[in-house]
Amino acid sequence: MKNILVFLILMLVFSCNAFAAGFGKIEVQCPSKKCKIYIDDKYVASGTTIIKLKPGNHKIKVLENGKMLLKTVKYVGAKKYIVLKASRPKAVIAVPATAEVEMTPEWMLPPTATPEPTATPEPKALISAEATPEAAAAQAPAQPAVTAGINENKFTLHYYIQPGYRLDDSYCNGCASVGLGMEFGWNKSLLFDCCLSTFTTNNKLAVIHEGTLTVSSLDMGLIYKIGGFYAGTGAGYYVFNHTVADSVLDAKTALNLEYEETIDNNFGFYCKGGYRFTALGGINFDLGLKAVIVNTVATGTETDMTTLAETETKCNYGLPITTAYLGIVF
């Protein structure tokens, strides 16, 4: 356990030195997906989008069909979240002036008739967006509502590095391990997971002979996230390379035998779980545990150096692999 803590502390120090810069985020809300967003005069996305930026001043522009909806300069600080809303200019709606009412001249009326006064309707005022916000809102055409969360299910891709430690058990000694992988998909909660990992250790005399065992694997599965916590499962293909210890070979040679031992490559199943958090100025860390079981066959071949007769011995070999890791996600 002491070795695990020392290893994780060393990896944490390495991660801090390698990734010291923090980032901020800015959310640009647009009235439609046709809106194009430019950051520092470079096109980055269309429609409402959340963008990760380095700390500093950034120019933000939003155009819709060539018309400028937003143009500003904002300072984005580390670990800060800024929301900007781009909207179309409100149209000025003019109401036609009231037509004049023609009055009949008094001299044209009959002598006994008394002209009745005609009420002149009051002219209607022009309605504009600058008059009152309430009146403009009532007269202006309805604007499509900006829905928060547009593009929430867009395609995402994250890479990760998972230095870890294979825990000691009755089959093999504890040792360092490393994994390289990626998560991708269109749903933020359920993603595909692909990882390539390897480790080299000294195996114990449990099923096979003592020696050096190297295990490499390619795992593929699904991972489900709930907040910072996650859990995943899947299958992988495991490749074994076993070198028998010199003491075993010397004992066989003394009996005039040549000995070789192999382990068949095979598929295995894994499950993992952990917690993902942000620290040290915006670096995403991944702390978790992964357990694997691989059922395969070990074969030992003895060759008599005098008669060259071969004898094979096969046995089922179920290798458990439990790894604790502290990784970095990009």
Q: Is 254 left (phi over 0), alpha (psi -120 to 50) or beta?
A: alpha
42-46, strands of its sheet edge to edge: 42-46, 36-39, 56-64, 67-76
Q: Is 13 left (phi over 0), alpha (psi -120 to 50) or beta?
A: alpha
Residue % of the chain over a pLDDT of 90:
49
DSSP 212-281: EEEEEEEEEEEEEEETTEEEEEEEEEEEEEEEE-HHHHHHHHHTTEEEEEEE--EEEEEEEEEEEEEETT
Q: Do 22-85 and 156-329 have matching folds?
A: no
Does residue 131 have a pLDDT over 50?
no
CA distance 329 to 279: 12
Nearest in space to 34 (alpha carbons), one of 22, 48, 44: 48
Report residue 34's pLDDT band, with 50, 70 and 90 as the boundaries. confident
Q: Which residue has the higher pLDDT, 217 or 151?
A: 217
| Token reading at 269 | 């199943």
Nearest in space to 321 (alpha carbons), one of 206, 174, 161, 162: 174
The CATH code of domain 156-329 reads 2.40.160.20
pLDDT at residue number 282: 87
> Look-up: residue for tokens 């001249």?
105
Beta bridge partners of 215: 199, 240
CA distance 191 to 224: 7
Report residue 18's pLDDT band, with 50, 70 and 90 as the boundaries. very low
| Token reading at 302 | 């003895």
Contacts of 282 (CB under 8 A, 6+ apart): 21, 22, 23, 78, 79
Does residue 135 have a pLDDT over 70?
no
Report residue 99's pLDDT band, with 50, 70 and 90 as the boundaries. very low
| Token reading at 288 | 């978790």
Which CATH architecture best describes the domain 22-85? Answer: Sandwich (2.60)
Mean predicted confidence (pLDDT) in 238-267: 93
CA torsion sign for 211, 217, 222, 224 is positive
* pTM: predicted TM-score of the whole model, two decimal places: 0.54
**H-only helix segments in the chain:** 2-18, 133-139, 246-254
| Token reading at 122 | 């009051």
Q: Which residue has the higher pLDDT, 327 or 140?
A: 327
Cβ pair 23, 58 in contact under 8 A:
no
pLDDT at residue number 101: 43
| Structural domain spans, the chain | 22-85, 92-99+125-141, 156-329
Q: Which amino acid is at 95?
A: V
